Homo-oligomer: A and B are copies of this chain.
Amino acid sequence: MVGVGLIGTGFMGKCHAMAWNAVGTVFPEAGKVKLVHLGEANEEFARRRAAEFGFIRSSGDWRAVIEDPDVDVVSLTTPNQFHPEMAIAALEAGKHLWCEKPMAPAFADADAMVSSARQSGRVAILGYNYIQSPAVRHIGKLLDEDAIGDVNHLRIEMDEDFMADPEALFFWKHEAASGYGALDDFAVHPLSLISVLFGRVARVMCDMAKPYKDRVTDNGNSRPVETYDIASVLMRLENGVAATLQVNRSAWGRKGRIALQIFGSKGSILFDQERFNELQLYLTSDRPLEQGYRTVLIGPSHSPYGAFVPAPGHGLGFNDLKIVECRELLERIAGRPSRTIDFAEGLEIERTVHAMARSFDEGKWIEVR
């Protein structure tokens, strides 16, 4: 029986709570969990959330969660500037950690988190949920099986439109203090997919752009935007593959697009997170007259879809990916093989992001390592 603590109850906090509530029913073989202690900004709010989310105890101080002896693993879902302090404290208290990405605004802090995790000997993973989808897993399986031959070209795009409105007011994400822009917000997700499917990135050459130079502040003045909503990156992976990455958080019409195009010597694979219950596969082993992209709807034979629904084509949802992630965490805690991005691998993703930003500043290719 694994005791669970949760710190933070926003979008991701609720998402973790749903996963913890569901994991035992969906994946009974992963072991039992007990929702022990929830921490929020104040006691009243914490108490309400604990009641909603089914936690036994609650506190207005996150340290109480970390110090609770019945808590074995902590879900850390606060804004990422709080991650370093809380994560390191939790690890030092001997807790396993399920921390939302990105790790920390500053690379040095992320690096310290990795050191702390290593010293603690505890499991410390990051919330990269998109790697958990049955379609992405099946893509990995196809690549492992050499279904499309040697991959020679890769394109990834991630686009949303939550910052696309030019009339929207200046807010903290427009300040340089929040990071580079779309690179921080988005690029880590495609990089997590690259990490599990292809390995690491060797070299990058990035361009960034601002769709809107200035924005109105809430007091009616205009203020220059300091972050970049658009980034485009030429890349070479460590395995030699030529790749590109494009991200845009001001792309009107895109809601949750993470689009992959993977080209190989015997076929190709397309995928879009906006329709993540399907993938497109082109195989040259098909009869030439009928070669074409197959729209494969995921089903029980695409693990772990079958744990959710025994019939194909019925569809998983975004939150279900978090339940899978939760299962993987439990597997890792139990010392079994798991599909997770731990702090060490997460640091490599963040290293890549910082290299991209540097290549833009310097106008030249940068070696990630």
Contacts and interface: CB of A to CB of B under 8 A. Distances in A.
A133 to B, nearest CB: 10
A138 interface: yes
Interface residues of A, number: 98
Contact of A301 (B53, B232, B289): B289
Contacts of A310: 11
A207 to B, nearest CB: 4
B21 A297 contact: no
Contacts of A284: 164-165, 252
Contacts of A209: 152-153, 242
B267 A244 contact: no
Nearest to A241: B209
Interface stretch (A82-90, A95-103, A316-324, A325-333): A316-324
A52 interface: yes
A32 B48 CA distance: 12
Interface stretch (A70-78, A188-196, A258-266, A346-354): A258-266
25 contacts: A11-B310, A142-B290, A149-B166, A152-B212, A155-B246, A166-B265, A230-B242, A244-B244, A251-B261, A251-B268, A252-B265, A253-B267, A253-B292, A254-B313, A257-B313, A274-B297, A275-B275, A278-B292, A288-B301, A289-B301, A292-B295, A309-B318, A315-B315, A315-B316, A316-B317
